[in-house]
Amino acid sequence: MIPVTKPFLPPMEEYQELLKGIWDRNWLTNNGPLVNELELRLKQYLNLDHLLFLSNGTIAIQIAIKALELKGEVITTPFSYIATTSSVVWEGCQPVFADIDKETFNISPESIEKHITDKTSAILATHVYGNPCDVEAIDAIAKKYNLKVIYDAAHAFGVKFRGKSIFEYGDISTTSFHATKLFHTVEGGAVITRSPELLKKMAFLMNFGHDGPEKFVEVGINGKNSELHAAMGLCNLSHVEKILKKRKEDYLYYQYSLQPLEFISQKIHKETEYNYSYFPVVFNSEADVVKVMHELGNNKIFARRYFYPTLDVADYLETSSEISVAKDIASKVLCLPLYYTISKVEIDMICRIIKRSLRYN
């Protein structure tokens, strides 16, 4: 069986070594030493000012929305994971979908501008598959209309744009360290900001609003993560360079092995240091996607239609945006298996089956 992804696991001894310390200290959660160490090492590795380690990437988006005190409408992308949209609704705001760019698959700045009303308070954009959004255009729009910007950077661990971490863009960036992501802590996530005020506010928000044991300064939630999760993160962080290197090799090997198949691949901005976190293929038609998935499935290979359907179809939404590019890409995209332990032989087999099912050989 070849799944679309498999979590990376460090050598068990490395994890056990950190567990010993946890048992010795008998300190399991609430801002323990390993949580602090992980935050510090992530900030060093990614060269960030501020980062808070949270229980997951969804609570990270919710805390970001709460910290920025967003109200009314939030312009967002319909081509992302459902957590991007549901978080907006959960925080009492209304998602308004802008269309995406047909080459980068990210939210289109022109379409954002078309959807701004006097109720718009923010833009929530996803760096889809780790590909940086048009951050400059989005920043310019935000300045012009006085809007806040949150980036859902759940796919973007290790990505740099113009020499700095993509997490440094926007008022707040959020990310996920879920087991299926490139760098993970089993469950986990983070918020990143350059603002000391927002950092302080989010530190209260993630911990019930506690300011000391007897004072509550914000309507908080429990967004903390544990020593056991931090331990996994510390182990995985020491392997992340080789994970990134292996993914790049596999990504390039897919591109090579799929020849001469015609498909659209995502256009990555040239000033990007990319992380190769997914291998999306946009076929010529939805029928081709279905055919390929079926053939792969017959061989116990499971590709996934990330992201299909577009998020506007969620039962709890009523939206009327024209998002034809997003609909089109969503209907034709398929993410092929990509994970640390996938072999070249397996990639060969996947590519052979795809080409055969579309009669390209």
Residues at the interface with ligand PLP (CB under 6 A): 56-58, 80-81, 83-84, 126, 152, 154-155, 176, 178, 189
- CB-hemisphere CA count at 13 Å for 33? 9
Question: Cα–Cα distance between 141 and 145 in angstroms, integer?
Answer: 6
Residue closer to ligand PLP by CB (options 63, 354) is: 63
Residue 180 C-beta: closest distance to ligand PLP, Å: 7
* Buried residues in 291-329 as b, exposed as e (16+ CB within 10 A): ebbeebeeeebebbbbbbebbbeeeebebebebebbbbb
Question: Cα–Cα distance between 87 and 336 in angstroms, integer?
Answer: 27
Residue closer to ligand PLP by CB (options 58, 226) is: 58
Residue closer to ligand PLP by CB (options 127, 351) is: 127
Residue closer to ligand PLP by CB (options 5, 288) is: 5
Contact 75, 93 (CB under 8 A): no
Q: Which of 188, 187, 202 is nearest to 66 (CA)?
A: 202
Residue with tokens 């976190």: 277
Residue closer to ligand PLP by CB (options 254, 278) is: 278
Residue closer to ligand PLP by CB (options 83, 122) is: 83
Residue 186 C-beta: closest distance to ligand PLP, Å: 10
**In the complex, residue closest to ligand PLP by CB:** 57
Residue closer to ligand PLP by CB (options 155, 246) is: 155
Residue 83 C-beta: closest distance to ligand PLP, Å: 4
Residue 133 C-beta: closest distance to ligand PLP, Å: 12
Residue 115 C-beta: closest distance to ligand PLP, Å: 20
List all residues 6 or more positions away from 249 whose beta carbon is below 8 Å from its beta carbon: none
Residue 298 C-beta: closest distance to ligand PLP, Å: 28
- The pair phi, psi for residue 147, each rounded to 5°, is -110, 155
List all residues 6 or more positions away from 57 whose beta carbon is below 8 Å from its beta carbon: 83, 152, 154, 174, 175, 176, 177, 178, 188, 189, 190
Residue 205 C-beta: closest distance to ligand PLP, Å: 16
Question: Cα–Cα distance between 131 and 106 in angstroms, integer?
Answer: 8
Contact 269, 104 (CB under 8 A): yes
Residue closer to ligand PLP by CB (options 153, 296) is: 153
Residue 159 C-beta: closest distance to ligand PLP, Å: 13
List all residues 6 or more positions away from 98 whose beta carbon is below 8 Å from its beta carbon: 75, 76, 77, 107, 108, 111, 112, 114, 115, 321, 323
* Residue 103 neighbours by CB distance under 10 Å: 13
Tokens found for residue 218? 């914000």
Residue 341 C-beta: closest distance to ligand PLP, Å: 20
Residue closer to ligand PLP by CB (options 109, 189) is: 189
